[in-house]
Amino acid sequence: MTGPAAWADATLAAILLAVDPDRLRGIVLRARPGPVRDRWLAWFRTLFPESVPFRRLPPGVGDERLLGGLDLAATLRAGRPVAERGVLAEADGGVLIVPMAERIPPPLAARLAAVLDRGEVVAERDGLALRHAARIALVLIDESAGEDERCPAALSERLALLADLTSVPLGEAALPDVNADTIARAQQRLRAVTVTDAAVEALCQTALALGIGSLRAPSLALSAARAAAALHGREEIGEEDLIAAGRLVLAPRATVLPAPTEEAEAPPDREPEDAAAPDRPPEGDDTEGLDPKALAEVVLTAAAAAVPPDLLSALAGAGPRRALGGGKAGAAKVSKLRGAPLAARPGLPRGGARLALLDTLRAAAPWQRLRQPAEAGGTRPHIAVRREDFRIRRYRERSETTTIFVVDASGSAALARLAEAKGAVELLLANCYVRRDRVALIAFRGRGAELLLPPTGSLVRARRLLAALPGGGGTPLAAGLEAAEALAEAVLRRGGTPVLVLLTDGRANVTLAGTGGREAAEAEALAAARRLAARRLAAVLIDTSTRPQAQAERVARAMGARYLPLPYADAAALSRAVKAVQPGQTPARAA
């Protein structure tokens, strides 16, 4: 799509959204900051009456501002809890502009999606059950630069329209002659527009041909086509309306290129004119029965021409489905946002501690009668809050556990037990998966240790690396322990909790300098082990030798690790042993 066509589509999208915000629900606008975007936004505002609220979502908005909460000033004045509306309720009947939409975290996306679905905001917080009408249209401004950043699918999925201003020069951005009155007239016609079966089929067929799985897309396209028909004064959805819907709703969602038809050429640019002259009298030639197949062909051709080129290049490398995903990245981020608030405790809100307003009021509540005995009779109610009532918020800093596997892949260990050790690690990996831990993998053999896998949540990767790990060579145990110590320190610095799982037979024979020599190597290994012990790190040593060796046990003792000889370590024992050293094994509520 070139500049003018993209601008024409973006303005038509704005007009359609203004005509039927309730059903089209919003628009994803790909646009960098700049005059083109400003022009579009300013003009979009003029399509709505003054009375319609336009709100901007503050970046990093918390639930309190978003959903509503307790109004501190009013609560203290009234002497009873007074709720304050959030941004969503304030935008009821209007538009919510969301800047930097590509950075919306999944929890926020889920809250917005719920509001879109229900037309109201429902929240249960701060001792209040909040319920406010919130019929809003969203304008998600996607400023993403790369391919891997996109608006959360949970949201873009629900919004009918997608437009792209990134390639529009300011000179091409001419504003169509449409205003709030034009929109109002179209709205009056909206309900009367009828839909033929052929139109529904054409949109469904087009969606399928473009590889669009979700059924929201054709539904939204139908609503867009209806809005277009109303705009042009047509009583029935016509071919042009379907084409507009195909371009604006379906094309940007395409995941495959449709099979080429005989006339795969782009249709002439008709849309800009349509948008510019919405009051043109109905042409009256679309009303006769249309063959759904032929119609679908026309819509598909038009939509295919509007499929963004960068999408196709992105598809070339990706698999057939989920190409538009981007949702996966959220999974890892979510857990970091999940704090565990603890019960508030008495204290003053200073030194970074935040006041737990509601808990403070709860603490003050039972004493009100005692504190203001004679003040009744006309004086306005207020709450007497005293120093001892103050409660502050506390959060349990849930530090993430990173299990560091340190695997001896030397000849002595490898030949005998490496395969079994790998099996043991796999069991432990599954265990880590269950508890959403991160894992890291260090191997040592030959002359030194190597960090094979930095801390990650991807256990599949850990397993693959492990399976491919070759064995053989000397046993630089000290180097392995040192690498483990360095990594554990890095984990601690990031606020995590490291747990070491060391698999070795303990027979060190290579020194830190990389030279042979059993005695020196063992001395170094024990020294390294004692340094680990000094750090009080949780650790397990799994002895991989065929028979339990004195050396391995000595190393375990030196590093303060639990010692577990592999011959006795069946799955259950292994998992118990590692669990036993991992923190946070008590249920969260008991903490």
Which residues within the stretch 161-190 sit at the binding site for another protein (CB under 8 A)?
A: none
Q: Which is nearer to another protein, 362 or 447 (CB)?
A: 362
- Interacting residues with another protein between 244 and 303 (CB under 8 A): none
Helix (H, G, I), strand (E, B) or coil at 345: strand
Q: Which is nearer to another protein, 153 or 523 (CB)?
A: 153
Build a one-symbol-per-residue string for 209-238: x at contacts with another protein by CB under 8 A, - elsewhere: ----xxxxxxx--xx---------------
* Selection from 401, 477, 493 nearest residue 442 by Cα: 477
CA distance 64 to 53: 20
Q: Which is nearer to another protein, 129 or 316 (CB)?
A: 129
539 binds another protein (CB under 8 A): no
**Binding piece for another protein, criterion CB under 8 A, among 94-102, 363-371, 480-488, 563-571:** 363-371
CA distance 64 to 73: 15
CB of 548 to another protein, least distance (A): 29
H helix count then E strand count, the chain: 24, 17
CB of 337 to another protein, least distance (A): 9
CB of 38 to another protein, least distance (A): 31
CB of 353 to another protein, least distance (A): 18
CA distance 424 to 484: 19
CB of 248 to another protein, least distance (A): 17
CB of 483 to another protein, least distance (A): 25
Q: Which is nearer to another protein, 227 or 525 (CB)?
A: 227
512-543: burial string, b at 16+ Cβ within 10 Å, e else: beeeeeeebbbebbbebbeebbeeebbbbbbb
Q: CB burial class (10 A; 0-12, 13-18, 19+) of residue 76?
A: middle
Q: Which is nearer to another protein, 107 or 272 (CB)?
A: 107
Build a one-symbol-per-residue string for 368-407: x at contacts with another protein by CB under 8 A, - elsewhere: xx-------------x--------------x---------
Can you tell me which of 1, 9, 29, 92 binds another protein, judged by CB under 8 A?
92
> Judged by CB under 8 A, how many residues of this single chain contact another protein?
86
195 binds another protein (CB under 8 A): yes
Amino acid at 517: G
65 binds another protein (CB under 8 A): no
What tokens appear for 474 in the block? Answer: 């000397």
129 binds another protein (CB under 8 A): yes
Can you tell me which of 309, 317, 366, 373 binds another protein, judged by CB under 8 A?
366
Can you tell me which of 178, 200, 409, 541 binds another protein, judged by CB under 8 A?
200
The answer to whether residues 19 and 178 touch, using CB atoms and an 8 Å cutoff, is: no
Build a one-symbol-per-residue string for 326-345: x at contacts with another protein by CB under 8 A, - elsewhere: -xx-xx--xx--xxxx-x--
Q: Which is nearer to another protein, 270 or 382 (CB)?
A: 382
The answer to whether residues 488 and 501 touch, using CB atoms and an 8 Å cutoff, is: no
The answer to whether residues 95 and 136 touch, using CB atoms and an 8 Å cutoff, is: yes
- Interacting residues with another protein between 413 and 442 (CB under 8 A): 426, 429-430, 433-434, 436
561 binds another protein (CB under 8 A): no
133-144: burial string, b at 16+ Cβ within 10 Å, e else: ebbbbbbbbbbb
Build a one-symbol-per-residue string for 6-25: x at contacts with another protein by CB under 8 A, - elsewhere: -----------------x--
* Contacts for 350 with CB less than 8 Å, ≥ 6 apart: none
Identify the H or E element spanning 151. none
CB of 459 to another protein, least distance (A): 6
CB of 168 to another protein, least distance (A): 30
117 binds another protein (CB under 8 A): yes
127 binds another protein (CB under 8 A): yes
Can you tell me which of 65, 103, 185, 362 binds another protein, judged by CB under 8 A?
362
Identify the H or E element spanning 104. none
**Binding piece for another protein, criterion CB under 8 A, among 27-35, 107-115, 261-269, 548-556:** 107-115
Per residue, the 3-state secondary structure of 369-388, as one string, reads: HHHCCCCCCCCCCCCCCCHH
Q: Which is nearer to another protein, 58 or 325 (CB)?
A: 325
Q: Bridge partners of 539?
A: 500
157 binds another protein (CB under 8 A): yes
Strand locations in 262-347 (E): 340-346
**Binding piece for another protein, criterion CB under 8 A, among 116-124, 254-262, 311-319, 544-552:** 116-124
CB of 386 to another protein, least distance (A): 14
Q: Kindly report the number of other CB atoms within 10 A of residue 166's CB atom.
A: 19
* Contacts for 140 with CB less than 8 Å, ≥ 6 apart: 26, 27, 28, 29, 98, 101, 104, 151, 155, 156, 159
Helix (H, G, I), strand (E, B) or coil at 587: coil
What tokens appear for 163 in the block? Answer: 């437009």
CA distance 35 to 231: 27
Q: Kindly report the number of other CB atoms within 10 A of residue 119's CB atom.
A: 12
- Interacting residues with another protein between 22 and 51 (CB under 8 A): 23
526 binds another protein (CB under 8 A): no
The interaxial angle of helices 411-434 and 571-581, nearest 10 deg, is: 70
- Report how far apart, in Å, the C-alpha atoms of 321 and of each of 99, 261, 380, 410 are: 28, 23, 64, 43
Identify the H or E element spanning 54. strand 54-56
**Binding piece for another protein, criterion CB under 8 A, among 33-41, 266-274, 354-362, 564-572:** 354-362
- Interacting residues with another protein between 455 and 484 (CB under 8 A): 459-460, 463
493 binds another protein (CB under 8 A): no
Tokens 């304030």, located at residue: 90
Can you tell me which of 93, 99, 560, 567 binds another protein, judged by CB under 8 A?
93
